[in-house]
Amino acid sequence: MKGVSDYVLVYDITSDRERRKVDKVLRSYGFRVQKSVFECRMTKRSKDELLEKLRKLDVKSGFIKVYRLEFSLNPPAIGEVKKGSLDDEGPAFVL
């Protein structure tokens, strides 16, 4: 799909309150693959929108990093890869 890229967002935030706010924003853009890791497929516009929302949260107790993934039809995976999202299993808990 032209104009769309895949991103991984990771965070390490010690404040429960800040972490819940970040989690809520990220859930609206992608899906959780680990407790503090989300995958998101976004256009440049939606990525800019997400980054602005995260900046407005003004996280003080940690950081959020955004990585753009290189496109691959068959990304390599080592070990067991489970289908679905960790969010399906219940709640989990600087730019």
State the average pLDDT over residues 13-38: 96
- ∠ CA(67), CA(72), CA(74), 5° rounding? 120
Q: Residue 92 has what pLDDT?
A: 36
Residue 95 lies in a domain: no
Residue 22 lies in a domain: yes
What CA–CA distances, in Å, run from 5 to 8, 42, 83? 10, 6, 21
pLDDT in tens, 60-93: 999 999 999 876 666 667 777 666 555 555 433 3
- d(CA 71, CA 45) in angstroms, rounded, equals 19
C-beta atoms surrounding 56 within 10 Å = 9
The four Cα atoms 67, 20, 56, 49 give a dihedral, to 10 degrees, of 50
What is the domain extent for residue 30? 4-89
23: tokens are: 């989690």
- Residue 85 sits in a domain whose CATH number is 3.30.70.240
The b-or-e profile of 3-12 (16+ CB within 10 A means b, else e) is eebbbbbebe
Residue 94 lies in a domain: no
Domain count of the fold of the chain? 1
